[in-house]
Amino acid sequence: MTSIPDSDNSNDWSLLAEISKYQSLTTLSLSKFNSPAKGFRLGIDVQPWYYHADSSQEGENPQLRLLFFRCKRLLKYPILPLFMFDLDPGRHGENHSRTEELTAGFIPILKAFGFEYRYAPGDPLAELASLNRQGTIDAVLTDDVAVWVFGAQTVWRNPSSSHPKAKKTVKETMYKVYDGATEQHRAAMLMVLLCRGWCNAGSSLRLAQTDLAAEIYHAAITQPVSEHDLEKSLPGWCSRICRYLKDFGLTRCVPPKAFPPVLSTYMHPSVSTQLVKTYPPSMWTSKEPSLPELAGVCEDLFEWGWEDRVLVRFRSTIWENLPVRILRRQFLSPLLSDTEIFRFFGGGGEPGKVIDKIVGSRTHHSTDKTPEYRVVVNTDMFASWTKAGLKGTRQAPEVDVKGKGKEVGDDNDDLANSHQDAEPAPDIDAESDGEEDTSSVPSGKQKPLRAWIPEIIVQKANVELAKDYVKECEEKKARTPKRKRRQGDEAPASKKTKRPTTSPGKQAKAASKKKGPPPSGAGPSNSHSSADAPSMGS
């Protein structure tokens, strides 16, 4: 696997390094594809996303634009998100002062994507950890170590936090996953949290690895008491911290005389009790992304929300990811006709096929070598569904011959932000292994849209399509049998040998240019050898 530069060497998460590993989103999402939900149920802490959104600038609603494209990325995989909001935005005043404003703008985006969301009765991390512990969700996506004190079992980190210096393609496909936390790990995280506000990061990491950290955590989970009672069960805890700090040579840190009141918040949080009522199993299978609604959201929020530009952007960002969701729906509802399934995504009842055919296969390092099919996507239907959601409230500004608008905050502005979640430039197809993206070419001249989809998804949802491809490959192989080498035949050329990119004539011309003119004082060039030259006396 490609080496990934890690940024967790000196922060709180470094204490959990032994239970962490990098995995591709493909592998992670497919691990639950055979479950009743037919996907990976991922609880998402929205607060880190809001914090990251501050890096997005230029154009209309730049923070919401970043959130939109982060959601877009999830469409490519059978991931079923559950976004958790906070009923008390004031809790995050220092982290983000615009929590309420962003939430109001983000919820319509989530509805258009068909993603679930809830408001937590207490701390959102506590709610997500409780859901993870009880099996309602499969993992929690967050950057806050408090989730471990709340009891989470499996946690994903946001790539922009765990490996921000990695290549863009790596950050989009690989996530750092933590699983298997012990009581010792949770004790360390509790000590880190208790040290916030009076102790620097380095000192808190060292205190988190002491015996006192384990004693405090054990007392807190076994005795449902107040901070005052906890102090009685751990006499001298403050003086012990002082001794540790002195041993570390850190005499400037002064611990509080009493346990911080936040301790009870961590150990006895407010969470939902009626899980089946609040989070019914049907929530994972009842919704799908709607192309008309997504188009309408973009028209309302972003300066590029006129018809031609929306179609261009959706072709390179939304349409290539949507077939995974449609195939999942076919797997979920095998008795429904294609027309009925298309209505989940905004279709108007017209007949047709989303995937025309399979044209190739591969295994790639970005998916942990998961077998994939290369499929041809029918974009005519997607274009029709997308147009149905546009009201025509925006008009195209000055447009060049390629159909690219001159609007403020276009793709180049996204790149100028240098944020890993900004949308890629429209002429670069980051998911197509270097193939030319034709999204900005007039519709009549566009190449067919192709996408990589895991084999298992195609095989589960459309058995006949997969069988046809296998049969076609077998027939092709039978038509072109390998020629047996005979004695005296030359060995076949190495696969690594590159074919010349220019004709022999052009190569000769280039070689003559490299030689340059003859050196000064030299006579005219002579193509004959000295033996062939006529003698002076002849």
Give the model confidence (pLDDT) of 361-375 as tens digits: 999 999 999 999 999
State what percent of residues in the chain have pLDDT above 90: 54
Q: What angle do CA 191, 197, 201 make, to 5 degrees?
A: 60
Q: Are residues 42 and 169 in the same domain?
A: yes
One domain, residues 346 and 278: no
If one compares 536 and 380, the residue with the highest pLDDT of the two is: 380
Same domain, 213 and 139: yes
Domain with 192 in it: what CATH number?
Answer: 3.40.50.1010
Could you tell me if residue 495 is inside a domain? no
- Domain shared by 263 and 323, yes or no: no
Does the pTM surpass 0.85? The reply is: no
SS3 state of residue 377 = strand
Q: Are residues 157 and 219 in the same domain?
A: yes
User: Would residue 422 count as lying in a domain?
Assistant: no
Question: Coil, strand or helix: which one is 155?
Answer: strand
Q: Answer yes or no: are the C-beta atoms of 37 and 283 closer than 8 Å.
A: no
Q: 503: pLDDT confidence band, cut at 50, 70 and 90?
A: low
Residue 136 structural domain = 14-283
- Between CA 114 and CA 108 the distance in angstroms is 10
Mean pLDDT score, 185-208: 89
| pLDDT given for residue 435 in this prediction | 38
One domain for residues 317 and 264: no
Residues 59 and 185 in one domain: yes
Q: Which 8-state DSSP code applies to residue 499?
A: P
- pLDDT tens digits, residue range 152-182? 999 999 998 888 888 888 888 999 999 999 9
Give the number of domains in the chain: 2
Instruction: Name the residue type at position 81.
Output: P
Q: What is the pLDDT of residues 96-141, one digit of tens each?
A: 568 888 999 999 999 999 999 999 999 999 999 999 999 999 999 9
- Whether 335 is in a domain gets the answer yes
Residue 416 included in any domain: no
Judge if 164 and 110 occupy the same domain.
Answer: yes
> Cα(404)–Cα(397) distance, rounded to whole angstroms?
10
Query: Same domain, yes or no, for 270 and 310?
Result: no
Sign of CA dihedral 429, 287, 28, 47: positive
More confident residue, 489 or 393: 393
**Residue pair 199/42 in contact by the 8 Å Cβ criterion:** no
pLDDT tops 60 at residue 23: yes
Domain boundary among 283, 314, 347: 283
Is residue 427 included in any domain, yes or no?
Answer: no
Same domain, residue pair 299 and 266: no
Residues 275 and 354 in one domain: no
Whether residue 526 lies inside any domain: the answer is no
Q: What is the pLDDT of residue 95?
A: 53
Q: Are residues 351 and 384 in the same domain?
A: yes
